[in-house]
Structure 1
């Protein structure tokens, strides 16, 4: 069985029980979900459906195999409270500061089987922003023309920092060339736009910050003087809420949209109902637009498909799925006509123009959702490097150990021809670079 050229990656990583476990990628053919497993020294906290503290893939450059992992710090050890203090018979309250430690960030390079721990940016932002990173505005992109992998991998990790109604903004940039963070001032073209941080996309050598209510802000972070550009999203098909302000109405719309790269172009997917509420049981309609030329900033509608026709097709009945509105997951990264959806414990794909179910399986996500179904932010579409999709890794990449000073054994080249094979990643930090 040939190894697929891409996988559906669970955005939440699993924490291994063994302290000396490898940081590894468990490959599974779609529609099954591929899982990233990290050792406790990368993330001492296991993901919990009732807590937001979990190791998770913040963003990715799917075409190059770069993943940006955010791992929570170890919990603080509880300290006993000080004894009560009285002054003139009055109890004095002891007020202590709670120590906050930022999470750790790793750039995982699937092609070279390495994971590099980023240093903390420190202070010095010219706009006065705090040193702590906002992961919702953080993206990773490989350098144009650079092969991600081996010792020659070049990339940039960038956070977009801005303030409402301020014409100035900052890009906080980590370059693999220098191994350091730098602050690049940029003009903020958003004006009075209240930005919603809905993810960061790497595409065409640029980073694209997404606000699903309004549009995309993009730039080339490798430029000496980056320039931000705005691309509005297509006009909505679905009903806007009756919220009292435009921002709140836009956020309601954002819950029914997703932007992703498929077949080398940016695509915008929207799901809506023929009635006012998409959750009222009426079959939802899925629309998909393509941004053929970012310079023109115009989106072309490719299809608009109702689930009424999909439910009626024999392939849907054969899959044993119930006639309920699913939750959108992602587009096939090479074929935008194929969309994936969550329904109960299943993840299935549909050839939208043909109204035909292509694949169906149990998704098996790491963290069961707490009262809510998984959605498009629960998974990532990740293209596999050629070495993996061909079924082998170069022998020098091998099965990496977690010791900082050890090299991967040349004799341990894993095969990935079967589902659930492991690709181990050696962990490095700025001290090892």
Structure 2
């Protein structure tokens, strides 16, 4: 998601933050996983950690970060046509529920007397703060800055987070935050407590492919995965001294020669029920939704479900019907625990669809965000801590 997209969604997210938020949820009533709105804002809270409003899917959960914990530059003059915005993004989640967050210190331009923001200030280089977050305890751990100036601005939107358990009882686990950039990997390893660049084993993209990432990175099988939704996915082990990228092409018929402008809304890849899955929906009536799973050998795909959405909800009294002109279903998220269930966004609604039963299993209103990130909430998160002091960075 571009920064301009973040800017456009800020007002919608702001509305949601007017509701009370709480990270304290009884473990017996807490859902095993949540849908987090990918866009987040900061608050004026004096708390030392994040706050999460936990809601059971299909409702969105929301996360906020205290502004006092964010690195910011000088604020614009109060009477200028520039407004300071602290806008964040949930970039990825580990398989055991830790979040990787980025908060941008943006300056937006617009007429001061109406406060209608028209774009980003081209003369301002945003400060960027990167955090690891435990959504159950609210613990925030700041990662070191990357580079300076424009260099720090370009690093991080598609980073993934991966955890690795300790090999012996009492040993701290390892943690990596990484982004694959061509034949190099920019990474932060907890046992080294610094950013570094690792050169990968030789590999080459097909002609006319740039390796651009369309969605958040995800963790599976001890590797981080990055998806180009017009082509396929590349995975690599960020803990390796020399990461070896592996490539999985999309199902036959889904690879397209040119990048779809809106691939991130109508195609999605992720982990569900212990397998990598790919989902796509046609952008025209009758809105055919298809779901595939990587086969056991990891080299191909098996079609699991194909559902005609227009037919599925035609006989129901659904609040999102009739669809307004140019409104089309988009893929919000895959259910991490049920490979049959997909969450779609349709206008101002998010909808749970069970593809095996061919039925809608729930719906909820939302305030304009299309993108959300599924996050597991295992009981072990309640006691998980990240200790960062000096050159030590341990995950327990």
Q: Could you state the TM-score of these two structures normalised by the residue count of structure 1?
A: 0.68
What is the CA–CA distance in structure 2 between the aligned matches of 1:114 and 1:334, rounded to whole Å?
Answer: 25
Contact 1:18–1:40 (Cα < 8 Å) also in 2: yes
Cα distance change of structure 1 residues 44 and 359 upon mapping to structure 2, 3 Å threshold? farther
Q: Classify the secondary structure of the residue corresponding to 2:295.
A: strand
Q: 1:288 aligns with which of 271, 291, 294?
A: 291
Contact 1:13–1:56 (Cα < 8 Å) also in 2: yes
Partner residue, 2:351: 348
Q: Classify the secondary structure of the residue corresponding to 2:105.
A: coil
What is the CA–CA distance in structure 1 between the aligned matches of 2:99 and 2:68, rounded to whole Å?
Answer: 18
Contact 2:214–2:263 (Cα < 8 Å) also in 1: no
Cα shift at 1:161: 1.9
Partner residue, 1:380: 373
Q: 1:300 aligns with which of 299, 302, 314?
A: 302
User: Which structure has the larger Rg?
Assistant: 1
Partner residue, 2:58: 31
Cα shift at 1:189: 2.2
What is the CA–CA distance in structure 2 between the aligned matches of 1:430 and 1:348, rounded to whole Å?
Answer: 46
Partner residue, 2:11: none
Cα shift at 1:256: 2.3
Cα shift at 1:188: 3.5
Cα shift at 1:209: 1.2
Determine whether 1:72 maps to 2:75: no
What is the CA–CA distance in structure 2 between the aligned matches of 1:300 and 1:108, rounded to whole Å?
Answer: 35
- Of 283-292 and 180-189, deviating more is 180-189
Q: How many residues align?
A: 333
Contact 1:114–1:428 (Cα < 8 Å) also in 2: no
What is the CA–CA distance in structure 1 between the aligned matches of 2:37 and 2:391, rounded to whole Å?
Answer: 29
Determine whether 1:217 maps to 2:217: no
Q: How does 1:421-432 map to 2 (within 5 A)?
A: none
Compare relative contact order (CA 8 Å, sep 6+) and give the higher one, 1 or 2: 1
Determine whether 1:138 maps to 2:152: no
Cα shift at 1:345: 2.6
Q: How does 1:170-249 map to 2 (within 5 A)?
A: 170-186=184-200, 187-192=202-207, 193-199=209-215, 200-236=217-253, 246-248=257-259
Cα distance change of structure 1 residues 292 and 42 upon mapping to structure 2, 3 Å threshold? farther
Partner residue, 2:116: none
Partner residue, 1:331: 334
Cα shift at 1:310: 1.2
Cα distance change of structure 1 residues 98 and 161 upon mapping to structure 2, 3 Å threshold? same
- Of 282-291 and 335-344, deviating more is 335-344
Determine whether 1:60 maps to 2:93: yes
What is the CA–CA distance in structure 2 between the aligned matches of 1:24 and 1:429, rounded to whole Å?
Answer: 23
What is the CA–CA distance in structure 1 between the aligned matches of 2:218 and 2:235, rounded to whole Å?
Answer: 9
- Of 169-178 and 8-17, deviating more is 8-17
Mind listing any 5+ residue stretches in structure 1 that lack a counterpart?
77-96, 124-128, 163-168, 241-245, 273-277, 398-424
Contact 1:213–1:254 (Cα < 8 Å) also in 2: no
What is the CA–CA distance in structure 2 between the aligned matches of 1:99 and 1:431, rounded to whole Å?
Answer: 31
Q: 2:175 aligns with which of 144, 155, 166?
A: 155
- Of 213-222 and 111-120, deviating more is 111-120
- Of 217-226 and 105-114, deviating more is 105-114
